[in-house]
């Protein structure tokens, strides 16, 4: 006896349980919300990266022993007194061969300014300090404390520091003179987009 269905007989329809349809419905909505949140968080991350100095863990450019030495050299602490938490708090902003260092220590901050350092390495990979300044890290939205530059002078990259000056933002451009970083130019950036030259290198002394 043949078990074949007649040619004109329709195959049985598969009945999908209601809970499967509901699960698929909520899954689609959940996936949509997840993608939207991911996009928003990604945009926020890009904004933070664009407008803030992209500090990274010290381990991106320094050894823990080097951080210990830096903290001891720039504070009342001895190397033995430097704690693991103080080491972990240190962040860096590498710009090619230059390593800008944020010590992130209240002990090295005054009323409104904190100590920031810059290092490069010699032919023996030993650190050499080439920048040292007390800066105000409190800036209005849209300004980073440090900005990298593609310009190089004497083998090292130039960079820009933004500092509040009353209602303006003073933009210090620093370049390497072969020994240390010196102010190459200063411009004033008012609330408008356009920048106007404020003063020359000879009349500017960066806080140290």
pLDDT tens figures, 7-45: 555 555 545 455 445 544 444 544 344 333 333 333 333
Residue 30 — left, alpha, or beta (φ > 0 → left; ψ -120 to 50 → alpha)?
Answer: alpha
User: What residues contact 136, with CB distance under 8 A and at least 6 apart?
Assistant: 112, 113, 114, 163, 164
E-strand stretches of the chain? 56-57, 91-95, 98-102, 114-121, 127-135, 146-153, 156-165, 168-176, 181-189, 196-199
| Average pLDDT of span 183-189 | 91
> What is the model's pLDDT at position 204?
36
The pairing of strands 127-135 and 146-153 is: unpaired
Give per-residue pLDDT as tens, 133-164.
Answer: 999 999 998 899 999 999 999 999 999 999 99
- Is a pLDDT exceeding 50 seen at residue 170? yes
- pLDDT for position 120: 97
pTM given for the model: 0.68
Structural Rg of the chain based on CA atoms: 28
For the chain, domain boundaries:
54-203
In this prediction, residue 109 carries a pLDDT of 81
What pLDDT is recorded for position 27? 41
């Amino acid at each position: 006896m043949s078990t074949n269905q007649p040619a004109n007989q329709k195959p049985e329809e598969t009945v999908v349980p209601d809970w499967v349809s509901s699960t698929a419905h909520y899954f689609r909505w959940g996936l949509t919300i997840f993608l939207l949140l991911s996009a928003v968080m990604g945009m926020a991350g890009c904004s933070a990266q664009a407008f803030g100095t992209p500090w990274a863990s010290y381990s991106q450019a320094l050894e823990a022993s080097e951080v210990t030495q830096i903290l001891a050299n720039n504070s009342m602490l001895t190397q033995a007194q430097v704690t693991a938490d103080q080491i972990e708090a240190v962040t860096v902003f590498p710009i090619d061969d230059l390593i800008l260092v944020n010590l992130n220590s209240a002990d090295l901050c005054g009323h409104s300014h904190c100590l920031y350092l810059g290092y490069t390495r010699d032919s023996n990979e030993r650190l050499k300090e080439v920048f040292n300044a007390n800066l105000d890290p409190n800036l209005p939205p849209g300004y980073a404390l440090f900005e990298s530059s593609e310009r190089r002078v004497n083998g090292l990259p130039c960079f820009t520091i933004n500092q509040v000056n009353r209602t303006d933002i003073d933009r210090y451009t620093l370049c390497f003179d072969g020994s240390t970083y010196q102010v190459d130019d200063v411009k004033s950036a008012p609330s408008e987009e356009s920048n106007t030259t404020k003063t020359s290198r000879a009349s500017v002394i960066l806080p140290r």
